[in-house]
Amino acid sequence: MTLEWVILMCIATVIGSSGADTYYTHAKWTKPHILSKLKGLVVNAVAWNRLHITEASTREIILATDNGQFYEMAVDVKDKMAKYMKLLFELKELPEAFTGLQMETASVHNGTRFYVMAVAPTRLYSFAVGSFKGDGDSKFLQN
């Protein structure tokens, strides 16, 4: 099981005999809620958008999976569900699990730039991110 905490929120993947289920919880909730859009995916790491996260929404976050994929998604606390989910990147030549993920921000003259660092067992990856639109149509991974 992988846990990633930020402020009052948590995303955890539980692997059982029926497959993998990923849950999201908030400190104000009494129990976690399943993220059905992630059914069957094993989430190994989460990069939280610390610049824009609020108590009501994760805003844009990046999830890394055990099969070498990155997904962008946002969870709405009020609706207790993922607002959208989009595949951003996939390791094709050497699919392997991402084991670590970090997102940092920098203010520049024309907005905010995001820098994403990812760790896999045999490689380190870095990506420069132009911006997140927050509607499932990001400009992510312009490396």
| CATH classification at residue 47 | 2.40.128
| Contact (Cβ atoms closer than 8 angstroms) between residue 49 and residue 102 | no
Is pLDDT above 60 for 30? yes
Query: Per-residue pLDDT tens for 63-88?
Result: 899 889 989 888 777 776 777 888 98
* pLDDT for res 124: 92
Q: Which residue has the tokens 């976050």?
A: 61
pLDDT score at 142: 38
Residues 6+ apart with CB under 8 A from 140: 62, 70, 72, 88, 89, 114, 127, 129, 130, 132
The answer to whether residue 23 sits within a structural domain is no
Residue 95 lies in a domain: yes
Q: Is the pLDDT of residue 117 over 70?
A: yes
Does residue 121 sit within a domain? yes
Question: Considering the domain boundaries, does residue 6 fall inside one?
Answer: no
Domain region containing 74: 43-129
With a threshold of 0.85, does the pTM exceed it? Answer: no
In a domain, 67, yes or no: yes
Asked if 60 and 74 count as a contact pair (C-beta separation under 8 A), the reply is: yes
Mean residue pLDDT across the chain: 75
Confidence at residue 55, expressed as pLDDT on a 0 to 100 scale: 67
Average pLDDT over residues 47-72: 79
Q: How many angstroms separate the CA atoms of 64 and 88, rounded?
A: 10
For the cut 70, the answer to whether the pLDDT of residue 4 exceeds it is no
Total number of domains constituting the chain: 1
Burial of 67 (0-12, 13-18, 19+ CB in 10 A): middle
- 14 inside domain: no
Is there a domain that residue 57 lies in?
yes
